[in-house]
C-alpha cells in the first residue's frame, strides 16, 4: 500500500513540478477505484529534478524488482537519465513519468490538469478528459474498469452542465 499523503506532501513541500495521474487521480475525481501505487508526471527541468530527488530521498527509492545486492544511486543524474521510473520506496510504490501516452510531455499533461487541495497543499491532478485519453492510449486490460468509471463521471459532469 502507498502512503499517498507522504508522497504528495513531500513533492509539494519541495515545490516540485508534477501532475498526479493514474489511479489516485481517478479516485480524486470520485471514482471507486483501488490502486496500490501513485503515479506522477514530472517536469524534466534540471531544477525540478533536484526538487524531486530531494523530496523522495528520505523514502529510499530503488527501481522496483531491482536486485537488492546491486547498488543504486538516487540522484539528479539518475533521474535525468531516464523518463520512466517505477520505484519501490519505504512508503510504497511510486511511478514517475516524464511523458504520458496519449498526452505527451509534462507541459501537455499540465495543460490537461486541474488544481485540487489535498493534505493542506495545492496540487495539479490530471482531468477526467486527460485520464480518459491516457487510458485509451495505454490500451492496457487493467485500465478498462477505470475507463468505465471515468466515462461515467464525464457523462455525469456533462449532464449537470445542462
C-alpha cell at 32: 471507486
Nearest to 106 by CA among 21, 42, 25, 15: 42
**pTM of the predicted model as reported, rounded to 2 decimal places:** 0.90
DSSP 32: -
Dihedral-angle region of residue 45 (phi above 0 means left; psi in -120 to 50 means alpha; beta otherwise): beta
**Predicted confidence pLDDT, tens digits, the chain (162 residues):** 889 999 999 999 999 999 999 889 988 887 666 677 899 999 999 999 999 999 999 999 999 999 989 999 999 999 999 999 999 999 999 999 999 999 999 999 999 999 999 999 999 999 999 999 998 888 888 777 778 778 888 888 776 665
Amino acid at each position: 500500500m502507498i502512503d499517498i499523503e507522504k508522497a504528495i506532501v513531500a513533492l509539494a513541500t519541495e515545490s516540485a513540478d508534477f501532475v498526479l495521474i493514474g489511479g489516485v487521480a481517478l479516485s480524486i475525481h470520485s471514482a471507486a477505484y483501488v490502486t496500490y501505487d501513485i503515479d506522477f508526471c514530472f517536469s524534466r527541468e534540471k531544477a525540478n529534478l533536484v526538487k524531486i530527488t530531494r523530496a523522495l530521498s528520505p523514502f529510499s527509492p530503488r527501481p522496483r524488482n531491482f536486485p537488492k545486492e546491486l547498488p543504486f544511486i538516487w540522484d539528479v543524474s539518475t533521474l535525468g537519465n531516464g523518463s520512466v521510473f517505477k520505484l519501490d520506496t519505504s512508503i510504497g510504490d511510486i511511478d514517475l513519468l516524464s511523458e504520458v501516452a496519449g498526452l505527451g510531455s509534462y507541459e501537455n499533461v499540465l495543460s490537461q490538469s486541474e488544481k485540487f487541495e489535498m493534505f493542506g497543499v495545492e496540487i495539479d491532478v490530471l482531468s477526467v478528459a486527460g485520464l480518459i485519453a491516457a487510458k485509451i492510449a495505454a490500451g492496457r486490460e487493467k485500465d478498462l474498469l477505470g475507463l468505465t468509471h471515468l466515462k461515467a463521471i464525464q457523462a455525469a459532469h456533462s449532464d449537470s452542465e445542462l
